[in-house]
Amino acid sequence: MSRAWYGQARSLSYVMPRGRNIDSPTPYLMNLVVRLATGLEKLAIAERQRAIDFFLSRQQPDGGFCGRAGGSDLYYTAFALRGLAILGCEDEPMQKRTAEYLRGQLQQSVSVIDLISLVFAAKFLETWCAESVFADVAKGWPNSVADLFETFRRPDGGYAKTAEGRASSTYQTFLIALAYELLELPLPTPSNAAEFLLGQQRDDGGFVEIGVMRRSGTNPTAAAIGGLLVLEPQVSRPLLSEKLSESVTDFLLSNITDEGGLRANTQIPIADLLSTYTGLQTVRDVGAWSEIDRVAALAFVEPLQQASGGYLAAAWDEVEDVEYSFYGTALRGLLLSDE
């Protein structure tokens, strides 16, 4: 990823996938890439390369990337691509091998979370290096994907984790809204989805994953706010009121531990990278970034990076992996960003 790429990234035309109207809002995930990449530019080249080398070490012969269990996996491939993109990796052979792996997966029957990961990974490659994964698929493929997503939609406007599940999931609703955006398709009844997400907030200011829950969590709160930000342009009205933003900020700040990171919920005493990244990203999104002690947060994340360049999930972890290495890398980019 060259300096020229960063210059393009800051222009309006950068993350407009082919066919997207220039007046359309920039996709949420692509905005994050720009922000995180800008922060990571401040790291020494050798330090960025160490993290790049870790991600590259997880690429498999078929072009996909593996998790802790080994073997290529769409979920981890999407995380690896995001990590390599924000770090500035310009490995063209890696990109082409990954594109071939993703094309092969188009012919497979995969779970909905893998399908979402496939959309994420393919669109990242398309934007990042103009390597189209979907060029040879049937013209109506995005609509077929959307039809499948709709089998997960429930009467309350949210989306369940499984086709058989009765309860809508905050996280699944967020992911499917992101996938629709990347596929350049409007989410059906976005107002209903927004109302579902708003209804997941509890008295403590945070949000829950499933409606029957009463105790909020850091990650469902991040998913809810992210989903509302994705849906705002489609409903043509603000979804994050000042009161909502303040209550979310108070909830997330209450989950910061003495380590400088965030815990998943009030029942867990130890901070982890996933909760810290999603929580701090959300604090920034609701306009309370000045409330964060970035020095303390960096002091939490930096010791979790291993000699390999990868990251552990938390102090209790023993093995670095692609997903948490993305969170560690992204967190450093967020904390180093001037935005």
Nearest to 311 by CA among 55, 75, 29, 91: 55
In contact, 254 and 208? CB cutoff 8 Å: no
3-state secondary structure of 113: helix
Q: What is the pLDDT of residue 20?
A: 33
Exposure pattern of 246-255 as b/e (b: 16+ CB <10 Å)? ebbbebbeeb
Domain boundaries, the chain: 1-129, 138-250, 255-339
Instruction: Give the CA count within 13 Å in the CB-facing half-sphere of 160.
Output: 14
The C-alpha atoms of residue 197 and residue 43 are separated, in whole angstroms, by 37
290 membership: H or E segment, kind and range: none
Quote the tokens at residue 68.
């802790």
Strands, E assignment, the chain: 159-160, 168-169
For each successive 10 residues of the chain (339 residues), what is the average pLDDT? 34 30 65 93 96 98 95 96 94 94 87 93 87 80 92 96 93 97 94 98 97 93 97 94 98 97 93 98 97 97 97 96 98 90
Instruction: Give the CA count within 13 Å in the CB-facing half-sphere of 89.
Output: 22
Q: Kindly state the DSSP code that residue 131 receives in the 8-state scheme.
A: -
In contact, 190 and 234? CB cutoff 8 Å: yes
**Bridge partner residues of 169 (DSSP):** 159, 210
Indicate left, alpha or beta for 162 from its phi (over 0: left) and psi (-120 to 50: alpha): beta
In contact, 174 and 223? CB cutoff 8 Å: yes
Other Cβ atoms within 10 Å of 218 Cβ, number: 30
**Bridge partner residues of 210 (DSSP):** 169
Q: What is the pLDDT of residue 124?
A: 87
- In the block, residue with structure tokens 């999407």: 78
In contact, 100 and 63? CB cutoff 8 Å: yes
CA dihedral angle for residue 211, residue 162, residue 107, residue 62, rounded to 10 degrees? 70
In contact, 332 and 51? CB cutoff 8 Å: no
Helix axes 170-182, 141-150, angle to 10 degrees: 160
In contact, 39 and 237? CB cutoff 8 Å: no
Q: What is the pLDDT of residue 25?
A: 65
218 membership: H or E segment, kind and range: helix 218-235
Q: What is the pLDDT of residue 329?
A: 98
| Vertex 275 angle, CA 263 and 272, to 5° | 65
Q: Give Cα 241 distance to the centre of its chain.
A: 23
The backbone torsions φ and ψ at residue 197, rounded to the nearest 5 degrees and listed phi first, read -60, -45
Q: What is the pLDDT of residue 339?
A: 61
In contact, 211 and 181? CB cutoff 8 Å: no
Q: Kindly state the DSSP code that residue 203 receives in the 8-state scheme.
A: T
The C-alpha atoms of residue 247 and residue 263 are separated, in whole angstroms, by 17
Sign of the dihedral defined by the CA atoms of residues 206, 185, 324, 307, in that order: negative
- In the block, residue with structure tokens 């890439």: 33
